[in-house]
Structure 1
Amino acid sequence: MAGLISAHIAPNRLPRSRHHSPLPPIFSPCLSKKLHKIPLGIMGQFKPLTSVITSAQPQDIAAPTCFDNTLPTKEVLEIWRNCEAVCFDVDSTVCLDEGIDELAEFCGAGKAVAEWTARAMSGSVPFEEALAARLSLFNPSLSQLHDFLEKRPPRLSPGIADLIKKLKAKKTVVYLISGGFRQMIQQLFMKPVALQLGIPPENIFANQLLFGRSGEFCGFDINEPTSRSGGKATAVQNIRKVHGYKALVMIGDGATDLEARKPGGADLFICYAGVQLRESVAAKADWLVFQMQHLITSLE
């Protein structure tokens, strides 16, 4: 999932030297554990939105010419090829869809929730505020969630399975860090995303929906670091502190993924825009890619 922040992040950018890159240029048109209960009537606190950004099918698109970071520098490639761990965002990165938008549509509140997601992905509202607002619009029950996952299982992005396989062959440890929900990543009654990719539960950081005894929606666990602004950065910093990785890379499409690129966190932020291009995030990335295959090829 893409992420969001309430302030702009200016990561320490590595110097660019295009002539060092072995990869050919590519072009395309430029696109200008407490229970958190959501109080009734919460939507009265939020203003309606007018713009909508929905998840798109991946396209065989290349890099817009208005970005200067579509070719990796020598320094970026060195970190990427030698990193000990890679953290992936899930929605619109590992998977094609924004999970909460898809669930909301399934429950009959797709347009309203997508409007909030559009605002959230730009980082213009705190993550916890946007998450609470979106969930309050449809209050999904446990049975609805199960029905949704059975009828609309998450779809993997093209090339992601091969990329993760390649990383594992290099003994690189892979993590999933998501502002989405564990139930969509680790669901037990069908083959989950994490199992398909061979990611163990201890390498997953995501939010947790909470339900009552009758399966009614109760809220989400605010103890999860990814339930709030800055959460992905915190998760990445904790991973690095615990395991002592010398080099770690974050890959995602959103503002909270970019935010993970900070001291003690990720050394490198790779923006994957094969599903969603968020220009404010893409412009600040160390490397902007539109196809997983580019990342695979660069490891060879």
Structure 2
Amino acid sequence: MPLILQSLSPLANADLDTLRTVAGASAFERRADNVATADDCAPLTPALREALDAACAPRGIDWAVVPGGRKLSDFRLVAMDMDSTLITIECIDEIADFCGLKAEVSAITEAAMRGEITDFNESLRRRVALLKGLDASVLDRVYDERLRLSPGAENMLQTIQALGLRTLLVSGGFVHFTDKLKPRLKLDFTRANTLEIVDGKLTGNVVGEIVNADVKARTVREVCEQIGADPSQAIVMGDGSNDLKMMAVAGLSVAFRAKPVVRAQASVAFNHVGLDGLLNLFPH
């Protein structure tokens, strides 16, 4: 299976020589200044995975071993988490900042994403309850003033959409943000949680079914069925432990700036390159 190396900066020849030895490959072929591939990497054992991690991390290089013979256009769906994946922030943490509770809320968020809090529903309810009484206009302020797309997001989306892939944004965050991102980015499907608002104020409650790990996985399967695709034709991108179940049903999973538990289980990890690193994994 091909080994792909990519970085934000040009790959140095000395680094390629080192990694060729680590991977047991005969040679790397440059596809761009910052992308190189080897078609004869040694079998990806746990020991080789550790060796590649150790050699690549200090050099700012991301590596991936992917199935040979596939094209990006062979996939049918790209499903993405929102907070800290498609966008750079955790929306709930930024909302909480407006009532002086960002540190408290973000500590719960981090523990949940690391997998230390196993009941996502309860962790979300705890965080949302702290927002009770906040003016709902804060949601627009977070979107307008703080929400930024992750590096490479627009390039990745425009390219896969041009290839005919469908897109799904499935989030344990909130519909206020997914509903704004859907038309902006021409996304096909979105799913997220609804904050209850009464008389212009957050009530501290979530309305309806909470989008947890199980619901995320179910949504990926349902969208695949809706578009006539097999889950093996889906690519799922995420960063937290509540993304693991939907990543497990996909044909390819990408851990983006992810927690260690997610990097360990994903097909591919992007620790340095942007979301458009996906475009370098397969011919189009």
Output the TM-score relative to the length of structure 1: 0.69
Structure 1: 5+ residue stretches without partners: 1-16, 28-62, 187-191
Alignment partner of 2:106: what SS? helix
1:77–1:193 distance in 2 versus 1, CA, 3 Å:
farther
Aligned-pair CA distance for 1:153: 4.3
Output the TM-score relative to the length of structure 2: 0.73
Aligned-pair CA distance for 1:254: 1.2
1:25–1:96 distance in 2 versus 1, CA, 3 Å:
closer
Matches within 5 A, 1:45-64: 64=53
1:293–1:77 distance in 2 versus 1, CA, 3 Å:
farther
Partner of 1:215: 201
Partner of 1:155: 148
Q: Of 262, 272, 279, which aligns to 1:296?
A: 279
Counterpart CA distance in 2 for 1:167 and 1:179 is: 24
1:67–1:253 distance in 2 versus 1, CA, 3 Å:
farther
Q: Deviations over 1:32-56 (max 9, x none)?
A: xxxxxxxxxxxxxxxxxxxxxxxxx
Alignment partner of 2:64: what SS? coil
- What one-letter code is carried by the residue in structure 2 that aligns with 1:212? V
Partner of 1:287: 268
Q: Of 49, 59, 65, which aligns to 2:54?
A: 65
Greater share of helix residues, 1 or 2? Answer: 2
Q: Of 241, 256, 269, which aligns to 1:272?
A: 256
Aligned-pair CA distance for 1:162: 0.7
Instruction: Give the fraction of aligned pairs with identical amino acids, expressed as a percent.
Output: 24
Greater share of strand residues, 1 or 2? Answer: 2
Residue range with higher mean Cα deviation, 68-77 or 88-97:
68-77
Partner of 2:98: 106
Structure 2: 5+ residue stretches without partners: 12-51
1:279–1:79 distance in 2 versus 1, CA, 3 Å:
farther
Counterpart CA distance in 2 for 1:149 and 1:285 is: 29
Partner of 2:181: 193
Partner of 1:250: 236
In terms of Rg, which structure is larger?
2
Partner of 1:230: 214
Cα pair 2:131 2:203 within 8 Å, conserved: no
- What one-letter code is carried by the residue in structure 1 that aligns with 2:279? I
Aligned-pair CA distance for 1:217: 1.7
Q: Which has the higher contact order (CA 8 A, sep 6+)?
A: 1
